[in-house]
Structure 1
């Protein structure tokens, strides 16, 4: 007893790292299998498989995880053996339903890829993300009844090779390099996706392709379309038709207006983000005014709109001035343009309910405005300050107090020197805010 009393109180024997790890494993082992599998699901698949060495009970727990995620980063040390490891893991997977399979730039052969995808389809997979260096995928992939979300991020995906597509459950489709080699390739694909709601694609055409890409779907609500700079480099001619009346969000990046047709007024559209590449309007050959007006009419129900175009002056003169286009629902407008301030008035006149306007101008127009302003008579700083004070003094006390409420309290108190009326206006500001940094000099 005496020896026990002499031990320092409050100190516990320190466990080694190995002992602490074993203690953690013992605590985890007290949980039911369902809880452990849920915890393991937050780890990369390679790490969850590694837990099989912890004991007999752990040997196959990883095999019941609903999701499998493999990335090339996880197999840097294994080199060419990575695909063999993945193959073994997928074949030993025992979950009745596979929720998600992700293959992130892993190297494999066609037989392995077909085996993995077939296994996933047999387990009723809803989410499949493939970022692989493959030009073609197994045909069974495009006849899967359970896939809800599909991502194909690879070098190229030619649609012309796909026949009898049937993806009845597909709601989200992302493809990074879609190759259109004929006019009906995309239309044929979309007709096999009756539940599609979100389409995100970067389109590539064949080098000699001159045709039409028809994005017609009654179900698509979100469309993100990236044309890129490929076509401006080779001066390819193409046509894109967007005929999706249920659209709520539309993003078009890098298209030329002469090649874009929206034959309907999208009354469901909530948000639009349009970026026209350079010379989109200068190349319009026929029906110049009509093309721009029709495009604006198709967007007239939008609530939030972002337009990026470096020929906005032409866009405004031809599309807005003198036309019947009205944006009655538009509340937020963002412009990245090469236009003078005076031209914005024309847009404001057709958007009566606009609440937020954000404008970014190209440098040469800003420089022109600056040079013009240098010719105006300049007031001294004192004259400018007094003019500002005079304008404020014409406002009611309530309005002035509201303006002062946006200042730091120290600054609002400082306005008391401006005159007799200002002496105690700051005292009626409803909020007081003091910071130590405001009083360092004092």
Structure 2
């Protein structure tokens, strides 16, 4: 009988040696390197034991992704010395076996605590990487507030001509003291996180040394409390994200190309913005004096989140003047956003009430979002009227996004009707085309809210209901009840989202 190669016996006796070659190892270096590029560097290095074909393949990868998370402090004696020696050898192989292969991206994440024995090796590694035409560097290391210099950042990091993106993160605030000579001629993205700014000159020196800078992110703290005048001026800057805690300072931002500005600032006395093409503006923190030098008509999308301590705005004569000043600053900021097409209030609308001013007419506003903490007050005429005025002053409003969980009060039927008619007057609601309601745990109130909007929303095309109410997605009774509500708009579609 002829031998059948597909028989169980043949399959059982077949071994890998029957294959002419290892198909994976036969792939071109470019493909193998692409596969290895998805692995952390230490894992990629472990593939060198597979065969001679794989031995030093990891040294050709354009990306070095290294995480140091071993608990070195727990090791003692010979074990500690052995592991440190192996680590140093690994770093040496990572660099010297590359020959002249360039490094496109270098990522280093060091988990605390960082033992002193590791500092020389990490410093050496960063220096070598900077000499290999690296384009992107992202380093995250533990720091010490009392440190006086960038101990793990060699000075070459501030003079690397090939860098296009640089991110430096300290896991505790670390004094930012760059060298006197800074030159980053090709840098387009710069992010400095968790640094302590000790003087305004060093900060300005770094910004001025980046003529091509387009994307800047700063998350800092001040440990010296003298007043500072900070200026961010970069002609090609398109995106700026600021997050600052503590300190006393004024800040000026200017760029003819800036389109995106996100400010989460505490302690600032005045914020001056000169960005004629600014399209997105987000401001979080206590109300501050904001001056727009440019025409604000170009701002299309804005988000406001006023944050303050409760004791700052109690109704007492002692705090009246401070309260009124902050309220006026909040009002002036909102007034400067009157031409925006999309506006989101995340928190702190109550402060606008203290200003005693009339809200502007938002002539271009088509989308308005009112997030949860806005309504986190007891049933009160001031905020009902404030929301109503906001809706009335948006004649072209088409989309409204609200959170209902904050309305979870024990209203009676009559009181609830007054509440809905006061907070959401019929005239602006009739023109809405899209409505999104994020529901809380009060199921019956969610029904009433949806019913009210469907009844008066003559132009509604879509109502989206989201939330945590049990059974909305799976219960036919709940779905049928919502669908049975009287609708002023025959074309309104009701969508449910988890």
One fold, TM greater than 0.5?
yes
Look up the match of 1:358. 401
Q: Could you tell me how far apart the structure 2 residues matched to 1:294 and 1:400 are?
A: 33
1:126 to 114, 122, 135: 135
Change (3 A) 1:269 1:395: closer
Change (3 A) 1:179 1:261: farther
CA positional deviation for 1:372: 8.7
Look up the match of 2:342. 304
1:152 aligns with 2:177: no
Q: Could you tell me how far apart the structure 2 residues matched to 1:6 and 1:361 are?
A: 70
Q: Could you tell me how far apart the structure 2 residues matched to 1:276 and 1:357 are?
A: 20
Change (3 A) 1:25 1:197: farther
Look up the match of 1:222. 239
Change (3 A) 1:58 1:143: same
Confirm or deny: 8 A CA contact 1:245 1:267 kept in the other structure: no
- CA offsets 1:76-117 (integer angstroms, 9 cap, x no match): 898545354224312322353211111111656444333322
Confirm or deny: 8 A CA contact 2:168 2:193 kept in the other structure: yes
TM-score under structure 1 length normalisation: 0.70
Look up the match of 1:438. none
1:97 to 102, 105, 108: 102
How many aligned residue pairs are there? 392
Q: Could you tell me how far apart the structure 2 residues matched to 1:270 and 1:146 are?
A: 35
Unaligned runs of 5+ in 1: 419-427, 432-442
CA positional deviation for 1:129: 0.8
Q: Could you tell me how far apart the structure 2 residues matched to 1:375 and 1:341 are?
A: 13
Q: Could you tell me how far apart the structure 1 residues matched to 2:128 and 2:54 are?
A: 23
CA positional deviation for 1:71: 0.8
Look up the match of 2:351. 314
Look up the match of 2:330. 292
- CA offsets 1:206-234 (integer angstroms, 9 cap, x no match): 14243233333333322222235xx3xxx
Q: Could you tell me how far apart the structure 1 residues matched to 2:243 and 2:96 are?
A: 37
Q: Could you tell me how far apart the structure 2 residues matched to 1:317 and 1:328 are?
A: 26
Higher normalized strand content (fraction of residues):
2
CA positional deviation for 1:373: 2.2
Confirm or deny: 8 A CA contact 2:289 2:329 kept in the other structure: no
CA positional deviation for 1:176: 1.9
Compare 242-251 and 163-172 and name the one that shifted more. 242-251
Look up the match of 1:251. 262
Q: Could you tell me how far apart the structure 2 residues matched to 1:40 and 1:23 are?
A: 24
CA positional deviation for 1:43: 1.7
TM-score under structure 2 length normalisation: 0.63
Confirm or deny: 8 A CA contact 1:307 1:336 kept in the other structure: no
> Which structure has the greater CA radius of gyration?
1
CA positional deviation for 1:191: 1.6
1:40 aligns with 2:40: no
Unaligned runs of 5+ in 2: 76-81, 144-148, 267-284, 314-318, 376-382, 420-443, 464-472, 485-489, 494-498
- CA offsets 1:48-97 (integer angstroms, 9 cap, x no match): 22222233332222211111111124898985453542243123223532
CA positional deviation for 1:177: 0.7
CA positional deviation for 1:152: 1.0
Look up the match of 2:12. 13
Q: Could you tell me how far apart the structure 1 residues matched to 2:365 and 2:461 are?
A: 33
Q: Could you tell me how far apart the structure 2 residues matched to 1:179 and 1:260 are?
A: 24
